[in-house]
C-alpha cells in the first residue's frame, strides 16, 4: 500500500544561447495548438527524462544540450533531474536543500538498488525490490523496472490509437511481464513468491506451451483482421499485376520529366552563353566609343595644324616689328624648317588615314550592334521557351509523375499489408506443424505446472466498472457495459471489442483505461507513479475516420472529457493532455493551459 505519488513540475531545455521551459501544476494541464510545434516531442521528452533510452532528433533540438525535469512527491520532497540530450546517466538534485551538488543516478535498472533512476523512483512510490512474472510456463520472474510503469502513464500518439491492449506493447516476449506489472499495480502483490519449474520438465512440453500462447495471439490477430486467406492470396496477385503496370507508368513519367529537365537545362545554358556574349559586346562598344573620341580629337588637332599652315602661306612678308629687319634679311629657317607646305600636306595625309580608320570603326560597331540586337531577341526567345518548359513541367508532367508515384507507393504499402496478413496464416501453419511434431515426439506427457498469469477476475471486474463509469461520465456512445476479456487482455465495450473500433474511439477508450488505472490505485491506496500523460486522446475530433468517429464528433464528449478531469483530478492528482484543439472556453480558468501557436509573431511558437 502506498500514498507516495509523483507529479511533474517543469521541463527545461538548456543550450548555449538560452533555455526553453514549460511549467506544470497539480490537476489538469493542457498543451494545445498548431501541428509541428513540438507537442508530441514534449511527451517523448518527459519519457526520456524518466529513463527512456534516447531523445528523437529534431532540427529545433540542435541548439540545446541538456534537459531538466523538476518533480515533486506527495510527501513534500522536490527534485530536479538533469541529463544530456545525447543520453547517459542522470544528475539528481534535492531542491529542498539549497546548494545540493547533486547525485549521479545510473540509467540502467538494478534490482533492489537506488543508485539508478528506476530504483530511485520505485522506492519513492513503494515498489522497490518487487518482481514480476516473466514466463508462466517456466515460472520465472524478473525485477520490476520503472520503465514497466512508464508506458502505462505516458501514452504517446502512436500508442493511444493502436489496436492492441492498453496493457500490452504488442511484443509476445514481454506480454506476461507487462500483464504482471498491471496486476501488481491493481493488487499490490508481486510475483516474488513464484518458484521456477524444475529443470527435469521435458523441453517439448515447454515448447508446446509457448506455441499455444503464440497460436492464441495469432488467432486473435487473424480474427481482428477478418480476412480469408484465399482472398488475400488472390488480392496479392492482383496487387502484383497493378504494381507492375504502375511501375511502367512511373518509369515513363520519369523519363518524360528527365527529358524536359534536360531540355530546360540546355536552353538555360544557351541563354547564359548569349548573355555572356551580350555583356562582352557592351564592354567592346564602350571601348569603341573611347576610340572614336580619340580619332575625332586627332582629326580636330590635325585640322588646326592644316588651317594654321594655310594661313602662313597667305600672309604678306613685312619688316620685323621688333628689330625692323626687312623680309629678305629675316632668318625664319633658324627657328623652324620653314617648309609650311610640307607640314600642311602631312596633316592632310594623316587626316585621311584617321578618317579611313574611323570609317572601319563605324562599320565594326554597326556589325556588333547588329549582333547585339540579334542576341537580345534570342535571349527573349530562350526565356519564353524556358517559361513554357517550366509550365509544362509544373502543370502537367510533374503532377502526373507525383500522381503515379503516389499510386505506386499506395499499392506497395497495400501489398505489404496484405503480405503481412498472409504471413500470419503461414506462421500459424508453421506453429501448428511444429506443435504436431512435438506432440508426436512425446509432448503429450504431463507438462510443467504453469503459473496462473494475468489480472484476477474480481480485480478486472472492479477496474471494468471504473472504466464504464468514466465512459458514461464522458457521454461515450452506447450503454457503456464494459468487461475485461482475459484472452485478448483488452476490454469489450457493449459487446464489441475495443480493438475493433475506429482509430478515434480506440484513442478515447485507451485514455479512459489509463485514467481508470490511476484513479483505482489512488482510491485504494495502491502504488502508482501518480500522473498520466495523454497525447491526442481526442483524435476523433481532429481526424475522424469511419462512421463511429464521425458520429462521435457530433457529441459533447469533448466537453464532458475535460469537465470530468477538472472535477476528479485536483491537488492530489495530475493529468497532462496534449491535443491540437483547445479545451472548452468555460473550463480554461480551471486548467493550466499552454498554447503553441506556430506563429513567431503571436504567443508562444512551440516547445523549443
Per-residue pLDDT for 130 more than 60? Answer: yes
pTM across the whole model? 0.62
- What are the residue ranges spanned by the domains of the chain? 6-201+449-596, 251-401
pLDDT band at 566 (very low <50, low <70, confident <90, very high): very high
- The CATH class that applies to domain 251-401 reads mainly alpha
**Residues 174-214: tens digit of each pLDDT:** 899 999 999 999 999 999 998 876 554 455 777 888 888 88
**Residues 273-312: tens digit of each pLDDT:** 999 999 999 999 999 999 999 999 999 998 888 888 777 6
Mean pLDDT across the stretch 236-254?
A: 86
What's the CA gap between 399 and 94, in Å, rounded?
Answer: 59
- C-alpha cell at position 6: 509523483
Q: What is the DSSP string of 319-347?
A: --TTT---GGG--GGGTS---HHHHHHHH
Residue 316, pLDDT score: 65
Strand order in the sheet with 90-94: 18-23, 6-15, 66-73, 78-84, 90-94, 103-105
Architecture of domain 6-201+449-596: 3-Layer(aba) Sandwich (3.40)
Residue 537, pLDDT score: 94
All residues at 6 or more sequence positions from 578 whose CB lies less than 8 Å from its CB, including other chains: 30, 31, 32, 39, 40, 42, 43, 157, 533, 534, 535, 536
Mean pLDDT across the stretch 71-89?
A: 95
Annotate 356-392 with b (16+ C-beta within 10 A) or e (fewer). Answer: eebeeeeeebeebeeebeebeeebeebeebbeebeeb
Per-residue pLDDT for 338 more than 70? Answer: no
Amino acid at each position: 500500500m502506498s500514498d507516495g505519488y509523483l507529479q511533474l513540475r517543469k521541463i527545461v531545455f538548456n543550450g548555449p544561447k538560452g533555455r526553453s521551459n514549460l511549467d506544470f501544476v497539480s490537476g489538469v494541464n493542457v498543451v494545445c495548438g498548431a501541428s509541428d510545434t513540438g507537442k508530441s516531442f514534449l511527451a517523448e521528452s518527459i519519457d526520456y527524462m524518466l529513463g527512456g533510452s534516447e531523445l528523437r532528433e529534431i532540427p529545433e533540438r540542435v541548439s540545446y544540450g541538456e534537459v531538466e525535469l523538476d518533480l515533486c512527491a506527495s510527501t513534500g520532497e522536490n527534485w530536479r533531474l538533469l541529463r544530456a540530450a545525447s543520453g547517459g546517466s542522470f544528475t539528481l538534485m534535492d531542491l529542498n536543500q539549497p546548494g545540493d551538488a547533486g547525485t549521479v543516478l545510473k540509467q540502467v535498472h538494478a534490482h533492489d538498488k537506488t543508485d539508478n533512476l528506476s530504483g530511485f523512483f520505485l522506492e519513492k512510490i513503494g515498489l522497490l525490490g518487487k518482481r514480476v512474472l516473466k514466463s508462466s510456463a517456466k515460472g520465472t520472474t524478473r525485477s520490476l523496472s520503472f520503465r514497466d510503469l512508464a508506458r502505462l502513464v505516458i501514452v504517446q500518439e502512436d500508442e493511444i490509437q493502436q489496436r492492441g491492449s492498453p496493457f500490452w506493447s504488442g511484443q509476445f516476449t514481454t506480454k506476461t511481464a507487462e500483464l504482471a506489472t498491471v496486476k501488481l499495480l491493481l493488487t499490490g502483490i508481486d510475483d516474488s513468491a513464484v518458484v521456477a519449474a524444475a529443470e527435469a520438465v521435458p523441453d517439448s512440453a515447454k515448447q508446446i506451451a509457448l506455441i499455444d500462447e503464440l497460436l492464441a495471439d495469432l488467432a486473435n490477430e487473424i480474427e481482428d483482421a477478418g480476412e480469408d486467406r484465399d482472398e488475400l492470396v488472390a488480392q496479392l496477385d492482383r496487387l502484383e499485376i497493378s504494381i507492375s503496370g504502375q511501375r511502367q507508368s512511373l518509369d515513363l513519367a520519369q523519363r518524360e520529366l528527365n527529358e524536359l529537365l534536360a531540355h530546360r537545362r540546355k536552353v538555360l545554358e544557351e541563354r547564359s552563353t548569349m548573355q555572356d556574349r551580350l555583356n562582352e559586346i557592351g564592354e567592346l562598344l564602350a571601348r569603341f566609343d573611347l576610340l572614336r573620341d580619340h580619332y575625332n580629337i586627332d582629326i580636330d588637332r590635325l585640322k588646326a595644324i592644316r588651317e594654321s599652315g594655310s594661313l602662313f602661306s597667305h600672309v604678306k612678308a613685312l619688316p620685323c616689328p621688333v628689330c625692323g629687319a626687312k623680309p629678305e634679311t629675316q632668318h625664319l629657317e633658324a627657328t623652324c624648317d620653314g617648309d609650311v607646305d610640307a607640314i600642311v600636306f602631312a596633316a592632310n595625309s594623316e587626316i585621311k588615314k584617321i578618317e579611313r580608320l574611323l570609317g572601319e570603326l563605324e562599320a565594326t560597331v554597326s556589325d556588333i550592334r547588329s549582333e547585339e540586337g540579334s542576341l537580345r531577341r534570342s535571349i527573349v526567345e530562350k526565356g519564353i521557351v524556358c517559361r513554357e518548359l517550366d509550365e509544362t513541367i509544373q502543370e502537367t508532367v510533374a503532377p502526373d509523375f507525383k500522381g503515379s508515384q503516389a499510386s505506386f507507393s499506395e499499392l506497395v504499402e497495400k501489398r505489404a499489408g496484405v503480405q503481412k496478413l498472409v504471413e500470419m496464416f503461414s506462421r500459424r501453419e508453421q506453429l501448428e506443424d511444429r506443435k504436431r511434431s512435438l506432440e508426436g515426439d512425446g509432448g503429450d506427457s504431463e507438462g510443467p505446472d504453469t503459473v496462473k498469469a494475468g489480472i484476477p477476475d474480481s480485480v478486472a471486474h472492479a477496474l471494468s466498472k471504473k472504466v464504464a463509469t468514466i465512459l458514461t461520465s464522458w457521454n461515450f456512445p452506447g450503454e457503456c457495459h464494459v468487461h475485461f476479456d482475459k484472452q485478448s487482455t483488452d476490454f469489450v465495450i457493449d459487446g464489441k471489442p475495443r480493438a475493433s473500433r475506429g482509430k478515434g474511439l480506440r484513442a478515447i477508450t485507451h485514455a479512459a483505461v489509463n485514467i481508470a488505472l490511476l484513479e483505482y490505485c489512488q482510491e485504494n491506496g495502491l502504488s502508482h507513479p501518480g500522473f498520466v500523460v495523454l497525447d491526442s486522446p481526442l483524435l476523433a475530433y481532429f481526424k475522424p475516420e469511419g462512421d463511429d468517429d464521425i458520429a462521435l464528433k457530433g457529441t459533447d464528449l469533448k466537453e464532458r472529457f475535460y469537465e470530468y478531469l477538472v472535477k476528479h483530478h485536483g491537488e492530489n492528482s495530475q493529468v497532462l493532455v496534449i491535443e491540437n484543439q483547445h479545451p472548452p472556453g468555460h473550463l480554461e480558468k480551471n486548467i493550466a493551459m499552454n498554447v503553441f501557436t506556430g506563429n513567431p509573431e503571436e504567443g508562444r511558437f512551440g516547445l523549443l
